[in-house]
Structure 1
Amino acid sequence: MDNKTDKVVLFKGIKILIFAVMSLFIGPILLTFAFSQPENSLYIPLLIVGCLICAMAVFLIFKGIKIIMSSMFKNK
């Protein structure tokens, strides 16, 4: 029985978590820009893009953790 971690899958999960961390910073920054000037013509597009990036960050966190867990506890 081989209980070693699959390093290729582990690095894939870590790469997804790195994109999630970048999204965790970019999303709120865009939301801050949008809320700081609501009279600006870019208010609605920045608000939509910021919310989408924040939602994508949450999704990527769960996906990255799931991939990392499957690399450690694989069922074959």
Structure 2
Amino acid sequence: MLLMGDPELDPERAVERLRQTTADHNARPGQLFQLSLSIGVSALPAGRSVTLEELIDAADEGMYEDKRGKRESRSVWSI
């Protein structure tokens, strides 16, 4: 997921919306399968310069930690 350009775009809120949409799907009666998500988001502070690969690596790290269930409620990683 790429959120850029608008300072009003909140990564935490975007992640929560994805999780809620998944939960809503799973709560519907008669579903043949349940969906699950593992999400990692990296944030680039203003004035900091990094490569796209570094941003992706940071998001991947967050996703794998989410997948392993080691994170509490943190879904955004700063690099």
Q: TM-score, length-normalised on structure 2?
A: 0.38
Q: Which has the higher helix share?
A: 1
More strand by share: 2
Structure exhibiting the larger radius of gyration computed from Cα positions: 1
Of structures 1 and 2, the one with the larger relative CO (CA 8 A, separation 6+) is 1
